[in-house]
Structure 1
Amino acid sequence: MNAPLGLEPRRITVQGDGVRLATYQWGNARGPTLLLVHGYPDSHEVWLPLVRELAADYRIIAYDVRGAGASEVPSRIRDYRLPRLANDLEAVIRALSPDRRVHLVAHDWGSIQSWEAVTEPRIQPLLASYTSISGPCLDHVGHWMRSRLRERRAGAYLQMLGQLLSSWYIAFFHTPLLPELTWRFGLARAWPSLLRRVEGIAKPHVSTTQLQDGQRGVRLYRANFISSLFRPRERHTDVPVHLVIPTRDRFVRPQLFDELTRWAPTLWRREVRAGHWQLLAEPQRLALWLREFVDREEPARRAS
């Protein structure tokens, strides 16, 4: 998808943790800085409808995460582990917003990797706030699963079973070659129509890198899920968190976030009747919520 008329980005290549990252900037240089991190199987292009809504008042930065879009593609699975993804995010902030904290906004796998950064003490001082959409911290999920098992009651087991059923695709992504072949032989072409039928997105965008993004992005799952879920770490943050929970999300159940105040005590939780790709289906509503949250946090940021 091309950038909306009048919103051609300024493009800069940033050196991440061993990879070159394609970054994009729009908007009002005097406004608060938003850093947008996309999920799977997307690129920075998934944010363009939101950029259209916010560019007049905010400085906006987005980047293609490693392996996606125009960014460099590591070949080893271990190069997609969460600490390296967090290092990439830190590198983008230090290169493009060295003197101003950013308001981090992330979706899906962008949220998962952003949780790694938000809970990293070295990176927390660079962040003014964090808006997470449809993406939990994998370590928090590991602790949530353990707490469900410890309860030893049917309701807790059913919650865990429901999430496991919603996450069926994760097991599929761990199989050799099948996910890559599925993308090559049909899924890439069918992706826009799936977004239209399943998510209710009227005009799904067609990404020129959709096939490659889908194939390469499965390495994120292979590099991180097993270790995080079965050996979860204690990951805390003092960054203000704005949690957007689409209640019709087919992949991430709302109950995954029930214990989040244990890890993020400064938390605003917003449940919305929407699907997983709410950022594409309703960019105007998401823009409104971001304005409300970011503008509330800005006076506190300046005071500190």
Structure 2
Amino acid sequence: MCTGQFSDQPMTEPKAPLPNHRQVARGNVTLAVYAWPSPKPEADPVILIHGYPDSAQVWRETAERLAEHRPVFAYDVRGAGASSAPKALRDYRLEVLSEDLLAVIQAVSPRRPVHLVGHDWGSIQTWESVCSPRFEGRIASFTSISGPCLDHVGHWMRAGLLSADPRRWADVFGQLAHSWYIGLFQVPLIAPMAWRVAVGRQWPRVVERLEGMAEAPRFATQTRDGVNGIALYRANMRRRLLAPQRRTAAIPVQLVTPRYDPFVTEALTDSLAGWVPHVRRVPVYAGHWLPLTRPDFLASTVEAFIASDAA
């Protein structure tokens, strides 16, 4: 059953303010962490991890709604927003990003497990932690939005291409068509230059067209975030897709899958049950940027999952 109703009703920039941030140090990097106080401070907290080319600002309205039930935190991943931006490509590998998340968890909830919500690359990088024994007892649940585990994708692509079923070939090549830009990101200079010259300035209009929004939010660090975040693709895509590891998750996982996502197809998660025994799927008639377009739906879906027996 598909949850939610797709709508192209005009959206305006979120009105909820972004709280002042604190700095969490991790090696030579500082991460900007934002906190939304809750009338229920005793509840297990939620940490929100944003994707590309966003910053924690994308979570403003969703976080405000979730904070009615529990403490909420979000942070700018390295390279985005007010966080540090290392220059070396190796500093954006998934293993490094996982250590960043661990530092944030230790800083905001050292004694209680946390619920994680990741969107786009925020979800991709969070799979690294969700599937790691190092995080046992620290993570209570994970809601994944439009961001699969790259190792799972690598296994899925390999199995699809080796299959005798032409439908599975179609699924793989269909996803490759949706991911055309990833190859462009591997070419030196072109993508960063495009962001600096035109894409950064035009990005809100791109989101407006893709999501049916009247006015997408304008963020001061948009061009910087777009340029720096290219390192996520260069540091991880080829090495994980061509040599995928075996990744299993013991915690409850909720997949929110937008039916009109132009970048991530639902077929990507068809074989997920083999890697994640406790998985719940929530398809929704919406586009890619649910944190911007459907904050009420997203917050209620996350809270319902946390409150359920599954989590």
What amino acid sits opposite 1:57 in the alignment? H
2:308 is paired with a residue whose SS is: helix
Deviations 1:225-259 (A, max 9, x none): 00100000001110100100011111000000001
2:32 to 22, 29, 35: 22
Q: Which moved more, 1:149-158 or 1:61-70?
A: 149-158
Deviation at 1:153, TM superposition (A): 2.4
**CA-based RMSD:** 1.6
Deviation at 1:15, TM superposition (A): 1.5
Deviations 1:15-57 (A, max 9, x none): 2254111111012123330100000000000000102222222
Q: Tell me the matched-pair count.
A: 298
What amino acid sits opposite 1:100 in the alignment? R
Return 5+ residue gaps in structure 2 as ranges.
1-11
Deviations 1:71-109 (A, max 9, x none): 011100011000000000011001110011100000000
Distance in 1, matches of 2:58 and 2:227, equals 17
Name the counterpart of 1:261. Answer: 273
Name the counterpart of 2:84. Answer: 72
Distance in 1, matches of 2:59 and 2:113, equals 20
Deviation at 1:286, TM superposition (A): 0.8
Question: What TM-score do the two structures reach when normalised by structure 2?
Answer: 0.92
Aligned pairs for 1:109-128 within 5 A: 109-128=121-140
Distance in 2, matches of 1:100 and 1:9, equals 22
> Which fold has the larger relative contact order, with Cα–Cα distance below 8 Å and residues 6 or more apart in sequence?
2
Name the counterpart of 2:75. Answer: 63
1:13 to 5, 23, 40: 23
Deviations 1:186-235 (A, max 9, x none): 11111111111111233311111000000000000000000100000001
Question: What TM-score do the two structures reach when normalised by structure 1?
Answer: 0.94
Distance in 2, matches of 1:27 and 1:57, equals 10
Name the counterpart of 1:184. Answer: 196
Distance in 2, matches of 1:126 and 1:56, equals 22
Return 5+ residue gaps in structure 1 as ranges.
none
Name the counterpart of 2:98. Answer: 86
1:241 to 253, 272, 275: 253
The structure in which a higher percent of residues are helix is 1
